[in-house]
Structure 1
Amino acid sequence: MGSSAGANTAYHAGLCASQEADDLVPLKIKGLILHHPFIGGVQRTGSEVKLVNEPHLPLCVSDLMWSLALPLGADRDHEYCNPMVGGGSKLWKNVGLLGWKVMVTGCDGDPMIDRQMEFVDMLVTKDVKVVSHFSTGGYHVVELKEPSKAEALHALLKDFMFDAPAA
């Protein structure tokens, strides 16, 4: 599990682990939780345009973070930033075959929500068991600042990990 950039770390670590799942015994991974994944791309989405000056994560800050994080010469359509580039990683096939569930969360006050929803759609096309939850109100990783939102997230996580079958 990870939130924001931590979700990206969980995403990439999960894909790598899916290649070596048999070698990880006795560890058994059941799924990934990607909370408000920090994803982008060159072409602006509607939510990015609408929330360009969102006070918690303005687009200029997101762009700056990507310019510092990506390899030299890479743009935001690099696979580290845009997981949908080129149709997405072929390693998602492993995740589907292993039966892992993937939870993706977001909210409508996050400039990245359009990409997060597109990411969920891509996973579905790759036969990955996906559970998504996109809430109204809030902003990127709002749960870090607002206890009531954190409680709601904890309930979702509990359901995902212990009760809910993948949709």
Structure 2
Amino acid sequence: MFEPDPPVPDPFEEFARARAPHLYRAAWLLCGHRAEAEDLVQETLAKVYVRMHRRRGPRLDNPAAYAQTVLTRTFISARRRASSTEVPYADLPGLDTAGADGGADHAGTTDLRLALTEALADLAPVDRAVVVLRHLDGLSVEEVAHALGLTSGAVRNRSMRALARMRKEALR
């Protein structure tokens, strides 16, 4: 009896399943809105899919780093467009707040998250990307510089100034 070969798992599908939650978290921190973040992740994954399935050109050695770079650059590029002034309706963050205590969301955590969201919203797109990648995603200065196409000095300078603005806003 003839049995068909089992389907070969698509490396992109496995990558997307594993990496989507992290990409969404970073996108939400960059955008500040659930719908925008979801769109940004979809656009990023579409670009990664095309790159992973390209037959010509160099092989994609680190798809996670590539996806993070695409996500950040797509966000910055979208903010430069005239249509980026559209503002979606206000909604609460869609982040998963379930912790080790079974999902109890404490007022202090919520206040901190809202304060962080407001402080990030006041930053320019590139400064916001630097803060998110450097301090919330834990990338090194060099990794952030590479992802954004900046020099290491520019990343340090932008980070320092953006954090100072955020501190100033927090004291108000």
**TM-score with structure 2 length normalisation?**
0.29
Give the structure with higher Rg (CA): 2
- Greater fraction strand: 1
Higher relative contact order (CA 8 A, sep 6+): 1
**TM-score with structure 1 length normalisation?**
0.30
